[in-house]
Amino acid sequence: MRPTRLSRPTPGPTPRPTWRAAAGVVAALLLAPAPAPAQLQPADPAFWSAAALALAGTAAADPWLRRGLRGPGAPAAQTLARTVQPLGLARTAYVGLGASFVVAELAREPAWARVTLRVAAGFVAADAVTSILKPVVGRARPFAERGAYHVRAFATTDRDHAFPSGHATHAFALAAGVADEAHRPWITAAAYGTAALVGWSRVHDDAHWTSDVVAGAVVGTAASLTTRRWLARLTHRGGVPARLTAGPHGAAVLLTF
C-alpha cells in the first residue's frame, strides 16, 4: 500500500527578526534632538541646514529604510507601535491640552494655564502647516505601492497625503513645546524620545516613508518653537495670553494681546 503524502501547509508571512525591530527603535530614538541647552532654534541657520541634510539623506534611502523598518516585526515591536501611535493623533493632543488648561484654571494656577496655551498655540500652528502641505505635495504612501517618489500635487485622497507625517508633526510639536517650557534634560529626552517612537511606528506600519517622518519632525519643532517665541515677545510687551470666562450659556477662552 502506497503511503499517503501529506501536503505542507502554506507558510504565512514571517515576522521580521527581533534585531530589525530593535534597530528600528534605536534609529527612532537617535532622531531625538539634543537636550535643551544644545537644542538648535528655527532662527539659527544651522537648524535648517541640519534639517535639509536629514531630509535629503532619508529621502535618498527611503526604499531601503522601508524594507528594514516596516512590520510585521517582533510581537513586542507591534505592541509598542500600537501603544505609541495614539500619541500622534490631533484629537489626543487637543483633549489633553484642553484638560490641562481647565485644570489649571480651576486650580487658580495662571502660570500653568499660560504654559498650556503656549504649547497649544504651537501645536495648532504646526497642525495647520502640515494640513496644507499634505495635499499640496501629494506624495503617495508606501502601502499604495507606487514607489518612494510618486507625487500628485493637490491630491484629494488620503493615500496621497504622506508628506509630511501628521503623527510626527503632532508629536514633535508637543515635545518641542513641553521641552522648551520645562528646561529639564530628562523631560526633553523623554518628550523627544516619545515623539521619535511615534514617528517610527508610522514607518513600521507602512503608512509613511522615513523622510515623511523627518519632515513632520522639522515642521512640528519649527512651528512650535517659533510660535512660542512670538507669544513670549507679545507677553513681554504686556499682553495677557488668555482669560477663561464662564456664564449661563457655557465657557469661553478670550485671547488678548
Q: Is residue 113 part of a domain?
A: yes
Residue where the block lists cell 483633549: 95
Residue where the block lists cell 508610522: 202
pLDDT along the chain (257 residues), means of 10: 48 49 54 48 92 95 92 83 95 96 94 92 97 97 96 95 97 96 92 95 96 97 93 65 49 52
pTM score of the predicted model: 0.82
Q: Is residue 53 part of a domain?
A: yes
Q: What phi-psi label fits residue 206: left (phi over 0), alpha (psi between -120 and 50 degrees) or beta?
A: left
Range of 119's domain? 45-236
Question: Nine-digit cell at 231?
Answer: 507669544
Helix (H) or strand (E) holding 244: strand 243-247
Q: Is residue 193 part of a domain?
A: yes
pLDDT at 13: 47
pLDDT at 70: 85
pLDDT at 85: 95
pLDDT at 34: 41
Q: Is residue 102 part of a domain?
A: yes
Q: Is residue 26 part of a domain?
A: no
Taking Cα atoms as reference points, which of 60, 94, 61, 74 lies closest to residue 24? 74
Q: Is residue 209 part of a domain?
A: yes
Q: Is residue 3 part of a domain?
A: no
pLDDT at 27: 57
pLDDT at 50: 93
CA 114 → CA 23, 77, 102, 232, 255, distances in Å? Answer: 39, 37, 11, 10, 11
Q: Is residue 151 part of a domain?
A: yes
Counted domains in the chain: 1
pLDDT at 31: 53
Q: Is 165 within 8 Å of 221 (Cβ atoms)?
A: no
Alpha-carbon span 11 to 18, nearest angstrom = 19
